[in-house]
A = this chain, B = another copy of it.
Amino acid sequence: MPTKLSTAEENYLKAIYKQAEKGGAPVNTNAIARELSTAAASVSDMLRKLSAKGLIAYQKYYGATLLDEGNRIATKLIRRHRLWESFLVATLSFGWEEVHDLAEELEHIDSDLLIDRLDQFLGYPKFDPHGDPIPDRQGRYTLRVQHLLSEMPIQQHLTVVGVSNHDPEFLHLLKDLNIQLGTRLDIVQKFEFDDSLKVLIEEHTSVIISNRISSQLYVRPA
């Protein structure tokens, strides 16, 4: 039953997983095509194949949903991706804006032993360098307490726990602001007219942050 999948097939499953996570099920063809930067026709083809393999439920002109086995595989890929990202940052000193593409390749190396050893070596991290939860061997996630910074009231003692945008440029910008995972923030003031915030970073630097940024930053109290 657990027949070895190609890199392409794995990427489709992951794309469906991601789209379902944000857009809900069923996932339509165009969304997958966009996610994978591929033609819609290619997606149709692949959905037929994945359906034949029992990994997804697929109805023409309607959409696709992951079945149990497909969901298991997608979750495993996400586990691998996030563990590799953690490794690259924690062990090989990469920046959080540099690791996505490498992890995208590393995640396709198919060895449970490898990934479990890596997990052990890293000390069973619960979150990756972007603050996203790392599924355990059974595919279970640790929930993260997260609020968008943009939606918090004026408040002191916040901690950055994640970002919803993994774009290298965005991450680099945060780096320049001295904002990273674990950084402590206080919201000092809110400006109605453009929804920007005045924020104190690490009780140190005071900056104005646009809504563009604050709406992609997850924080938790304390």
Contact = CB atoms under 8 A, between A and B. Distances in A.
| Oligomer: number of copies | 2
Contacts of A118: 92
A105 B102 CA distance: 14
B105 A93 contact: no
A4 to B, nearest CB: 12
A67 interface: no
Interface residues of A, number: 15
Interface string A66-107: 000000000000000000000010011110000000100110
Contacts of A88: 114
Contact of A114 (B92, B111, B117): B92
Given A102-B114, A114-B102, A121 B109 contact: no
A213 B53 CA distance: 46
Contacts of A114: 88, 92, 102
Contacts of A121: 91-92
A117 B93 contact: yes
Contacts of A91: 121
Contact of A92 (B105, B106, B117): B117
A92 B88 CA distance: 14
A105 B94 contact: no
B102 A109 contact: yes
A181 B94 CA distance: 32
Nearest to A116: B92
A96 to B, nearest CB: 15
Closest 4 CB pairs of A and B: A92-B117, A105-B109, A92-B121, A102-B111
15 contacts: A88-B114, A91-B121, A92-B114, A92-B117, A92-B118, A92-B121, A93-B117, A94-B117, A102-B109, A102-B111, A102-B114, A105-B109, A105-B110, A106-B106, A106-B109
